Structure 1
Amino acid sequence: MFHTELSNRVSGEFPGSRLLYRHVYAIASLLVISLLSSFTLTQHLAICNWFDGFLGGLAHPVLGLHHMVSVVAIGLISGVVVRGTFIPAGFVFATLLGTINHLLYLDLPGAETAIAFFTIVFAVMLAIPSQPNLMVVVLLTATAGLFHGYTYGQAILETPISSQIAYMLGLTLTQFVVAMSAREIGNIISVGKLQNIRNAGFAFWAIGIVFLSYSII
Structure 2
Amino acid sequence: MIPAKRLCLSAILLLAAAMPAYAHVGIGTASSFTAGFMHPLSGLDHMTVMVAVGLWAALKGGKAVLAWPAAFVGVMLVGGALGMLHMPLPFVEPGILASVVTLGLLVALAIDLPVSAGVAIIGLFALFHGHAHGTEVPENAGGLEYMAGFAIATLLQHAAGIAAGLGIRFRGLARAAGAACAAIGIGLAFGIV
Aligned to 2:33: 54
Matches of 2:123 and 2:163, distance apart in 1:
20
Q: Which SS does the other structure have where 1:156 is aligned?
A: coil
Report the TM-score, using the length of structure 1 for normalisation.
0.72
Q: Which SS does the other structure have where 2:189 is aligned?
A: helix
The answer on whether the counterparts of 2:56 and 2:110 sit within 8 Å (CA) in structure 1 is no
Matched AA of 2:103: F
Matches of residues 9-48 of structure 1 in structure 2 within 5 Å? 43-47=26-30
Matches of 2:39 and 2:130, distance apart in 1:
11
Q: Deviations over 1:35-80 (max 9, x none)?
A: xxx99xx643134xxxx51111001111111111101100111112
Aligned to 1:103: 84
The aligned length equals: 167
The answer on whether the counterparts of 1:88 and 1:176 sit within 8 Å (CA) in structure 2 is yes
Note if 1:83 corresponds to 2:63. yes
Matches of residues 68-79 of structure 1 in structure 2 within 5 Å? 68-79=47-58
Matches of residues 133-172 of structure 1 in structure 2 within 5 Å? 133-161=114-142, 164-172=143-151
| Larger deviation, residues 125-134 vs 53-62 | 125-134
Matched AA of 2:34: L
Aligned to 2:16: none
RMSD (CA atoms): 1.8
Aligned to 1:211: 188
Gaps of 5+ in 2: 1-21
Aligned to 1:114: 95
Aligned to 2:7: none
Note if 1:181 corresponds to 2:160. yes
The answer on whether the counterparts of 1:43 and 1:60 sit within 8 Å (CA) in structure 2 is no
For residue 130 of structure 1, report the CA deviation from its aligned partner: 3.6
Report the TM-score, using the length of structure 2 for normalisation.
0.81
Gaps of 5+ in 1: 1-37
Aligned to 2:6: none
The answer on whether the counterparts of 1:45 and 1:155 sit within 8 Å (CA) in structure 2 is no
Quick check: which has more Rg, 1 or 2? 1
Instruction: Return closer, same or farther for 1:102/1:129 CA change in 2, 3 Å cut-off.
Output: closer
Matches of 1:129 and 1:78, distance apart in 2:
10
Q: Deviations over 1:110-143 (max 9, x none)?
A: 2111111121111111111342121111111111
Matches of 1:153 and 1:141, distance apart in 2:
18
